[in-house]
Amino acid sequence: MSGTVHLQREGAVGVLVIDNPPVNAGSSDIRKALLTCIAEVEADAGLTAGVLIGAGKTFIAGSDLREFDLPLAPPQLPAVIAAIEGSAKPWVAALQGAALGGGYELALGCDARIAAPGTVVGLPECGLGIIPGAGGTQKLPRLVGKAAAIALITSGRRVGAEDALKLGMVDALASGDLRAEAAALALSLVGRKAGVIERDPPAEDEATIEAAARKAAASGRSRPHILSAIRHIRAVGSVPAGEGLAAEREDFQDLRISAEAKALRHIFFAEREAARGAAPAGVTAGPFASFGILGAGTMGAGIALACLQRGFATTVVDTDPAAIERARTRIEDEISKSTAAGRLTAAEADAARANLTLGSDMALLAGSDVIVEAVIEDLAVKQQVFAAIDKVARPDALLATNTSYLDVDAIASAVADPGRFIGLHFFSPANIMKLLEVVGGARSTPEAIATGLAVARALGKQPVQAGNAFGFIGNRIYAAYRAACEFMLEDGALPQEVDSALTGFGFAMGPFAVADLSGLDIAWRMRQQQAASRDPAARYVHIPDRLCEAGRLGRKTGAGYYSYDAAGKPQPDPAVEAIILAASAEKGTPRRSLAAEEIQRRALAAIVNEAALVVQQGVALRPGDVDVVMVNGYGFPRWTGGPLHWAGTQDQAHLAADCAAFVAAAGAGRELADLAAILTS
Active-site residue list: 105, 125
Among positions 320-349, residues that touch ligand NAD (CB under 6 A) are 320, 323
Which residue number, 237 or 367, has a Cβ lying nearer to ligand NAD?
A: 367
Q: Is the peptide bond before 22 cis (omega within 30 degrees of 0)?
A: yes
Minimal distance, residue 381 CB to ligand NAD, in Å: 6
- Give the nearest distance from C-beta 266 to ligand NAD in angstroms: 27
169 near ligand NAD, judged by CB under 6 A? no
**Out of 381, 517, 578, 585, the residue judged to bind ligand NAD by CB under 6 A:** 381
Of 2 and 428, the one with the shorter C-beta distance to ligand NAD is 428
**At 147, which helix (H) or strand (E)?**
helix 146-155
Which of 204, 254, 377, 577 contacts ligand NAD by CB under 6 A?
377
Nearer to ligand NAD, 299 or 675 (CB): 299
Q: Quick one: which of 281, 347, 376, 532 contacts ligand NAD (CB under 6 A)?
A: 376
The verdict on 439 binding ligand NAD (CB under 6 A) reads no
Q: Tell which residue, 436, 448, 396, has the closest CA to residue 283.
A: 448
State how beta strands 172-173 and 313-317 pair: unpaired
Q: What is the rounded distance in angstroms from the CA atom of residue 465 to the CA atom of residue 451?
A: 12
Q: What is the DSSP letter of 59?
A: S
* Cα–Cα distances in angstroms (integers) from residue 205 to residues 141, 200, 236, 279, in the given order: 14, 15, 14, 54
User: 116 or 374, CB closer to ligand NAD?
Assistant: 374
Shortest gap between Cβ of 526 and ligand NAD (angstroms)?
Answer: 10
> Do 323 and 296 meet the contact criterion of CB atoms below 8 Å apart?
yes
Residue 279-318 contact track with ligand NAD, rule CB under 6 A, x = bound: ---------------xxxxxxx-----------------x
How far, CA to CA in Å, does 280 sit from each of 200, 447, 622? 55, 9, 15
Among 15, 34, 374, 393, which residue sits at the site for ligand NAD (rule: CB under 6 A)?
374
Return the number of the residue (91 or 421) whose C-beta is nearest ligand NAD.
421
CA end-to-end span of the chain: 30
CA atoms of 377 and 11, how far apart (whole Å): 70
**Which part of the chain contacts ligand NAD (CB under 6 A), choosing from 24-32, 369-377, 407-415, 465-473?**
369-377
Q: What is the largest CA-CA distance in the chain?
A: 92
635 binds ligand NAD (CB under 6 A): no
- Please, which residue, 619 or 666, has the CB nearer to ligand NAD? 619
x/- map, 399-428, ligand NAD, by CB under 6 A: ---xxx---------------------xxx
Please state whether 221 falls in left (phi above 0), alpha (psi between -120 and 50) or beta. left
Instruction: Tell me how crowded residue 4 is: count the other CB atoms within 10 A of its CB.
Output: 17
Considering only the stretches 203-211, 344-352, 373-381, 507-515, report the one whose residues sit in contact with ligand NAD under the rule CB under 6 A.
Answer: 373-381
**CA-wise closest residue to 439 among 410, 459, 460:** 410
Contact 100, 121 (CB under 8 A): yes
CB of 279 vs ligand NAD, minimal distance in Å: 25
CA distances for 32 relative to 1, 80, 104, angstroms: 11, 8, 18
Q: Decide: helix, strand or coil at residue 160.
A: strand
| Beta carbon of residue 389, minimum distance to ligand NAD (angstroms, whole number) | 9
**Whole-angstrom distance, CA of residue 611 vs CA of residue 673:** 9
Is residue 385 near ligand NAD by the rule CB under 6 A?
yes
Residues 490 and 541 sit within 8 Å (Cβ to Cβ): yes
Number of residues that bind ligand NAD (CB under 6 A): 23
Binding site for ligand NAD (CB under 6 A): 294-300, 318-320, 323, 374-377, 381, 385, 402-404, 426-428
